[in-house]
Structure 1
């Protein structure tokens, strides 16, 4: 896993453990205990699910219709505060998602991990579900506990098409999470040249700095990515800017030579 935000030298560690926590959260790592034979994406325990959630997981629209006719709450929560829409989006049941939003379910409820259905669909790159949610008015500006938007998740997941779709639906390209990373800074930090190019074409601010006053060039220098460094220089970024410790991008490049 890539180091997030900073780099290490024999003498200096530039970031703290919350950097790693944030990146782990964005990347949606799947732990063994969260994997079942039938659904590898959510920790699905049948005993925790209400009947309506089970039907959403099974992708059985006929049974869902029957439950709604009997007065079942379309937005019912399970023990983890997941709605049927959360489950359908995470698993990728596009037809069920289409059915639920067509019945006017609430689109922007948070689950127990402070994520919306849109965030879950983006996190697992279920583009058909993402499209349906956006077309029906899901809010791309909402944030998780770290301040990440759906666009942050799309950049972290390296999904170019979903990034473009979110921007098309007016996602804030300059949204900052709690550590003041914009999607652009995240793409630079992740050493994703194509994503950086895309966000520049979409008019992302290349001069933005993070919580520690680090520029995109500072983040790019330790990654030894000449293509990204060259691209940033072409955009006229300031090579003499200093972070909160007084370091320049040149200092970052120098210290990265001692990366352990």
Structure 2
């Protein structure tokens, strides 16, 4: 284990994170949303107003897959904020599961980034793709490794996430966990068969 953590200490420095070197903030959380830039359905999904989301004329009129300026759908915002009831409702009404925002992040990736386990479980159960890559080539498993959240990583692996996927910098989830000194995540990924 110490040998793994020493990989990036010999003059190399840690690999850049998938977000370009910064920690991964949960952008899209209700506290960071600019209300006037969002449509009614986006606002309702972001604030967990299920009664408004359920209005019978809203989905056909406003568009269940309508995008905001950042190309996020209501599902992105509900996932980022952990509103599992809204996520279940949207998924049950046949919204697209894998639309991508400006950073090519899917709702599943937003849920993982914001550590919303219930939303992740709902999306995976309905067939969301755990192997999509964002603008940096990082998958949901890369985001779980950086978080670090072994429970989310386990859910993703149970739904066929590629354990040795490489981002644009060539780093696997294991390499990112090592670079961030997330020992529990490193042990977890090694037990699950990650390639050293």
TM class by shorter chain equals 0.7 to 0.9
Task: Please report the TM-score for the alignment, with normalisation by the length of structure 2.
Answer: 0.87
User: How many residues matched?
Assistant: 188
> Which of 74, 79, 83 is the equivalent residue of 2:73?
83
Distance 2:131 2:107 in 1: 13
Deviations 1:145-199 (A, max 9, x none): 1100000000000101001110001100010001111111111111122111111
Determine whether 1:53 maps to 2:42.
yes
Structure ID, larger Rg? 1
> Which of 110, 113, 137 is the equivalent residue of 1:123?
113
The corresponding residue for 1:23 is 21
Q: 1:191 to 1:70 in 2, by over 3 A?
A: closer
> Which of 81, 94, 102 is the equivalent residue of 2:84?
94
> For residues 135-154 of structure 1, what are the structure 2 equivalents within 5 Å?
135-154=125-144
The corresponding residue for 1:68 is 58
Distance 1:129 1:121 in 2: 6
Distance 1:110 1:99 in 2: 19
Q: 1:69 to 1:172 in 2, by over 3 A?
A: closer
The corresponding residue for 1:164 is 154
Gaps of 5+ in 2: 1-6
> Which of 174, 183, 193 is the equivalent residue of 1:193?
183
Measured after TM superposition, the shift of residue 6 of structure 1 is: 4.8
Distance 1:64 1:76 in 2: 13
Measured after TM superposition, the shift of residue 125 of structure 1 is: 0.4
Q: 1:180 to 1:112 in 2, by over 3 A?
A: same
Distance 2:120 2:172 in 1: 21
Match of 2:169, SS state, is coil
The corresponding residue for 1:106 is 96
Q: Is the 8 A contact 2:28 2:77 kept in 1?
A: no
Q: 1:129 to 1:179 in 2, by over 3 A?
A: same
Distance 2:76 2:92 in 1: 15
Deviations 1:68-124 (A, max 9, x none): 365321000111111000000001111100110111100111112221101110001
The corresponding residue for 1:252 is none
Gaps of 5+ in 1: 207-260
Distance 1:77 1:160 in 2: 31
